[in-house]
Amino acid sequence: MPSEQTRRILDTLRAVPAGRVASYGQIALIAGHPLGAGGARDVVRILASMSEQENLPWWRIVRRDGAIALSPGNGAELQRTLLLREGVVFDASGKVAEAYFWTIYE
């Protein structure tokens, strides 16, 4: 059974709507993880270990600068394709345009 913190992170990940992205740290903060307390690493761990079994929208989570964290050949291309299918736009440097970051007030 997941801890309460893990459950909050899972719920927050599921809340990111199609066509939007969130950063690892943003997910941690929304889930109640204190800033600078390793929350982003917890989000990475949960995505790596639970994405498939929990049916998480892993492709909607990027670095805070909009970059895809996965390396080429290890899922970066798939993540970009899935985001493009949802209408997410990338800027000239290959990062998700800032306008596509999710806010909980939408």
CATH number of 28's domain: 1.10.10.10
Domain range for 40: 4-100
- 44-86, pLDDT tens digit by residue? 999 999 999 999 999 999 999 999 999 999 999 999 999 999 9
Which positions ≥6 away from 5 have C-beta within 8 Å? 31, 32, 33, 42
Return mean pLDDT, the chain. Answer: 93
Q: Is residue 105 part of a domain?
A: no
Number of domains observed in the structure of the chain? 1
pTM: 0.93
Q: How sure is the predictor about 106, in pLDDT bands with cuts at 50, 70 and 90? A: low
Q: Is residue 106 part of a domain?
A: no
Determine the 3-state secondary structure of 21 from DSSP.
strand
The Cα 12–Cα 15 span in angstroms is 5
Q: Is residue 13 part of a domain?
A: yes
The Cα 94–Cα 106 span in angstroms is 25
